[in-house]
C-alpha cells in the first residue's frame, strides 16, 4: 500500500534493528484519513470473502478495524487486555506475551459476540512474533467461528510471526511488510 509505505518512510522512527515507532499516525496519534484508506485496502484484499465480524485487540487495532467495518458493513469486536468489572464471566480468554512491553496479558472476548456462524477477519496494527494474532486465533477457535484470514497494517517480515501463520495455511495480508530496519534504514519487501 503505497500511501502507508510513504507515511512509514516519512514519519516512522527506527529505534533499533527491531523497533519501528509509528506513534505519529497509528499507535498514539491517529491519522483518520489514512485509517480510512487502510480500511478500504483491507476490504479490497478480502473482497472474495464474506466477513461477518472483525476481531482485533485494544488499542491500536481499533481505528483501522472500525474503518474496515464501516467499509464492509461488519461489526468490530476488540479483545480486552484486562478484565473489567462490567465484563466478567462468559468469556473466551487467551494469553498473549508482548515483547515490546515485556509482559503477558490475558486477553478476553465476551461469548456474546463470537459464534460458530461467524466468518472472522482478524486485524492488528503490527505483526512481529505473532503473539497477539495467535491469541486472537485461539479465541476465534474457541468460539467455533471460521477465520477467513488476518489483515495486518505493518508486518515486520524479518521476524517469524508471518511465516509461522502462513505455514499453518492462514491467509495473512500485510499492507506494508518490512524487510529490515538495520542501520536505521527502513527497507520493504517489494510486493
Binding mask 17-36 for a copy of itself (x = CB under 8 A): --x-x-xxx-xxxxxxx-xx
Looking at the Cβ atoms of 19 and 168, the one nearer to a copy of itself is 19
Q: Is 130 annotated as a binding residue?
A: yes
Does the protein bind a copy of itself through residue 182 (CB under 8 A)? Answer: no
Q: Is 137 annotated as a binding residue?
A: no
Q: Is 131 annotated as a binding residue?
A: yes
Does the protein bind a copy of itself through residue 67 (CB under 8 A)? Answer: yes
Does the protein bind a copy of itself through residue 15 (CB under 8 A)? Answer: yes
- d(CA 168, CA 150) in angstroms, rounded, equals 12
Letter string b/e over residues 96-113, b meaning 16 or more CB atoms within 10 A of that residue's CB: beeeeeeeebebbbeeee
C-alpha cell read off for 40: 478500504
Q: CA–CA distance from 31 to each of 11, 108, 151 (Å)?
A: 12, 27, 18
**Near a copy of itself by CB under 8 A, which window of 65-73, 128-136, 147-155, 175-183?**
65-73
Does the protein bind a copy of itself through residue 109 (CB under 8 A)? Answer: yes
Instruction: Select the residue interacting with a copy of itself from 9, 44, 100, 117 (CB under 8 A).
Output: 100
Instruction: Select the residue interacting with a copy of itself from 6, 17, 58, 117 (CB under 8 A).
Output: 58
Q: CA–CA distance from 46 to each of 49, 120, 163, 181 (Å)?
A: 6, 11, 19, 28
Beta strands in 58-118 (DSSP E): 76-79, 91-98, 103-110
Comparing C-alpha atoms, which of 154, 164, 165, 161 is closest to residue 189?
154
Phi and psi at residue 3, to the nearest 5°: -60, -40
- d(CA 151, CA 41) in angstroms, rounded, equals 10
Q: Which residues are annotated as a binding site for xanthine?
A: 20, 27, 156
Binding site for a copy of itself (CB under 8 A): 15, 19, 21, 23-25, 27-33, 35-36, 58-59, 62-63, 65-67, 69-70, 73-78, 80, 82, 84-87, 100-102, 109-110, 112-113
Q: Which residues are annotated as a binding site for 5-phospho-alpha-D-ribose 1-diphosphate?
A: 128-132
Amino acid at each position: 500500500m503505497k500511501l502507508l509505505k510513504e507515511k512509514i518512510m516519512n514519519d516512522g522512527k527506527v529505534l533499533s534493528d527491531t523497533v519501528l515507532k509509528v506513534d505519529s499516525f497509528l499507535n498514539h496519534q491517529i491519522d483518520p484519513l489514512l485509517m480510512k484508506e487502510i480500511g478500504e485496502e483491507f476490504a479490497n484484499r478480502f473482497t472474495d470473502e464474506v466477513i461477518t465480524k472483525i476481531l482485533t485487540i485494544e488499542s491500536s487495532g481499533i481505528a483501522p478495524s472500525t474503518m474496515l467495518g464501516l467499509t464492509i458493513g461488519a461489526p468490530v469486536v476488540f479483545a480486552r487486555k484486562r478484565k473489567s468489572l462490567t465484563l466478567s464471566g462468559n468469556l473466551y480468554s487467551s494469553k498473549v506475551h508482548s515483547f515490546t512491553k515485556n509482559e503477558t496479558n490475558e486477553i478476553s472476548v465476551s461469548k456474546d459476540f463470537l459464534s460458530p456462524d461467524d466468518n472472522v477477519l482478524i486485524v492488528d496494527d503490527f505483526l512481529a512474533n505473532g503473539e497477539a494474532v495467535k491469541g486472537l486465533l485461539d479465541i476465534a477457535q474457541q468460539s467455533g467461528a471460521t477465520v477467513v484470514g488476518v489483515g495486518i497494517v505493518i508486518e515486520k517480515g524479518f521476524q517469524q510471526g508471518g511465516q509461522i501463520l502462513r505455514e499453518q495455511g492462514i491467509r495473512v495480508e500485510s499492507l506494508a511488510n518490512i524487510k529490515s530496519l538495520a542501520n536505521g534504514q527502513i527497507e520493504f519487501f517489494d510486493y
